[in-house]
Amino acid sequence: MKPRLIAVIAIIAVLAAGSAYAASTDPNTFVFVTFGEVDSLDPAYCYDTASGEIIHQLYDNLIAYKGSSLDELIPMLATEVPSVENGLASADGTVFRFPIRKGVKFHSGHVLTPEDVEYSFERAMLVDPDGGPVWMFFEPLLGVFSLRDVVEMAGGDPNFEDASALSPEVVQKVYDLVDATVEVEGDSVVFKLANPYPPFLQILAKGGSWSSIVSKEWMTANGDWDGQPTSWPKWHNPAKEDMTLYSKANGTGPFKLNVWDTATGQVIFDRFDDYWQGAAKLERVVVKYVDEPSTRLLMIKTGDADAALIQAMYLDQVRGVEGIVVEERLPVIANTALIFNYSIPIEGNEDIVGSGQLDGKGIPSDFFNDLHVRRAFCMAFDYDTYINEVALGAGSKPVGPAPSSLPYVDATKPWYDFDLKAAAEEFKQAFDGELWEKGFQLTLLYNTGNDARKTAAEILEFGIEQINPKFKVDVRGMEWATYLDRLRSSALPVFFLGWHMDFPDVHNFYMPYLHSTGDFSGYCGDNMVAMAEQYFDDLIEAGIKTTDPEERAVIYSLLQKRAKDLAASMYYIDSQDQRVYRDWVKGFFYNPAYSANYDFYSVWKEVK
């Protein structure tokens, strides 16, 4: 027995000794543990924070925010920020000229040219993936919302199924329309807007992954659009896995992609030594995806992770721990909502909507098209418990679709309160009383790993099930990439999702939430689209077209009232953010415009 015991102890001791290799002691490698894997690395496709986190480190934009500021912009790949004063912006706000920096290298070794900048924006517009971020180019540059609208402008059928089937004339005309918006003039690139668009420069700024600059030559060599006027239909709205930049990257950013490994759940990127601003201090960054919160907590506590995504509900476990810095209550312009699909596709969703009928064993396709149901849901959620017990006070109760910290949002007009009696009254009126008699059964979805949303779903479940024993609610997680895929194809019946601002303007919330072509409302079924067209579209479009503050205030006040009256979605928290990292991490700064948790170029480690 004794020799065996000694052998076992010896093996354990030798293995334990290996802990000397812990990564945290390596001052050149940064480990960030988070949850929710990357959806795509293509800047034209990516419209989620998990993917944006990585793209932020690999690419550069024309301009950037200065440090934590949301107001002050500085040059990046452009050498100047256009303004009326420096003569690079027209007085009417419709022309912006960007002189392009010389001598900037891509990771592939190609040198940046103005043609690369033109190509990056035109490619994005011609690719225009469903549910992607490119509406932010169409709206200011062409006054429309998608390439389909441009096809219509060119005399084609906007409801085309296959862009390759469009006539050659339409194809050419579409290209011409897009091409005219971004032109190379000497060493500069000129953007020509359809109308004045106050937040246009912010759309181009670093933090917006969609405005990343790619290399035309490298893209063409790797099989992407070749820049020719007639060949773009082949690359329009492709499957995300078929896109050139789905799992590859070639930017001018401070880091170059090493590997995105789905088997071990991590993305690794290495320092780009030829970076035009000088090489980053960190040699390597590892972003690891660990769904289990207790494991993430242990990794930051032991120092195996330099930073970890810890949700507010777990912050008690890291506050006051020696060697850990907790930055709390960071102001973020973002909110989270339960979003209703007004025309749920039953086929393929039986596991979520049950029978698909109003029979107590499921919900019908138009369940959320009933105003009383939506209002009842909004009243059945215990906002205060969520904000105080789950978010631990890191956030506030919303007043509507846009966070109250933004201009033109009336913080004095309250949103719905938690009131189960009032919710019951609304439910009794839904479907002419039939819903109250028969009951319903449905599943609320959240993205796996997001325990705060899971708890929000459970709070709502508890509220609804108290109202009537015939009301049954389940809660289920879904992987982030799948969640987004289903969202983009309008197939999520009811789901939790947050919106982080693309640019600091109230329009950036009303547009995705309530415009008929918005990223949420546009994917919540035909009934929602019809409601948006009737009540919201005109106002939202008028709101961004005017620069008169008084006029904007009136418009957004009316929009806020209508959003509440119609209970368009259940907005339940205006978020605040937090960061948890080791005290050897230096150089961190917070900018609410960044979807990335960290700008790793500015960060370094001082390990004792």
How is 550-596 classified by DSSP, letter by letter? Answer: HHHHHHHHHHHHHHHHTT-SEEEEEEEEEEEEETTEE-----TT-SS
Per-state percent for the chain, helix, strand, coil, to nearest 5: 40, 20, 45
Q: By three-state DSSP, how is residue 105 classified?
A: strand
Q: Kindly provide the b/e burial profile for residues 522-548, where b requires at least 16 CB atoms within 10 angstroms of the residue's own CB.
A: bbbbebbbebbeebbbebbbebbbeee
* Measured distance CA(388)–CA(395) in Å, rounded: 9
The DSSP letter of residue 388 is I
- For residue 8, the tally of other CB atoms under 10 A from its CB is 10
Q: x-or-dash pattern for other proteins, window 2-31, by CB under 8 A?
A: ----------x-xxx-xx-xxx--x--x-x
Helical segments of 341-419, H only: 350-353, 371-379, 383-385
* Measured distance CA(202)–CA(282) in Å, rounded: 28
Nearest distance from residue 129's CB to other proteins, in Å? 10
Interface of this chain with other proteins, residues 525 to 564, rule: CB under 8 A: none
Nearest distance from residue 1's CB to other proteins, in Å? 9
Does residue 180 bind other proteins (CB under 8 A)?
Answer: no
Q: Kindly provide the b/e burial profile for residues 372-394, where b requires at least 16 CB atoms within 10 angstroms of the residue's own CB.
A: bbbbbbbbbbbbeebbeebbbeb
Stretch that binds other proteins, among 273-281, 388-396, 421-429, 473-481 (CB under 8 A): 473-481
Query: Can you tell me which residue has the tokens 């199924």?
Result: 161
Nearest distance from residue 482's CB to other proteins, in Å? 5
* Measured distance CA(119)–CA(125) in Å, rounded: 10
Does residue 158 bind other proteins (CB under 8 A)?
Answer: no
- Would you say 201 or 309 has its CB closer to other proteins? 309
* Measured distance CA(215)–CA(110) in Å, rounded: 7
Provide the sign of the torsion angle of the four alpha carbons 179, 180, 186, 190, taken in this order. negative
Interface of this chain with other proteins, residues 322 to 381, rule: CB under 8 A: 345, 347-351
Stretch that binds other proteins, among 59-67, 413-421, 471-479, 496-504 (CB under 8 A): 471-479
Does residue 91 bind other proteins (CB under 8 A)?
Answer: no
- Would you say 14 or 91 has its CB closer to other proteins? 14
Nearest distance from residue 351's CB to other proteins, in Å? 5
Six-digit token string for 98: 């960007």
**Which of 143, 477, 498, 587: binder of other proteins (CB under 8 A)?**
477
Nearest distance from residue 267's CB to other proteins, in Å? 11
Does residue 263 bind other proteins (CB under 8 A)?
Answer: yes
Does residue 295 bind other proteins (CB under 8 A)?
Answer: yes
Nearest distance from residue 161's CB to other proteins, in Å? 9
Nearest distance from residue 107's CB to other proteins, in Å? 16
- List contacts with other proteins (CB under 8 A): 12, 14-16, 18-19, 21-23, 26, 29, 31, 37, 238-242, 258-259, 261-266, 268, 284, 286, 288, 290, 292, 294-295, 298-299, 301-302, 304, 345, 347-351, 448, 476-479, 481-482, 485-486, 488-491
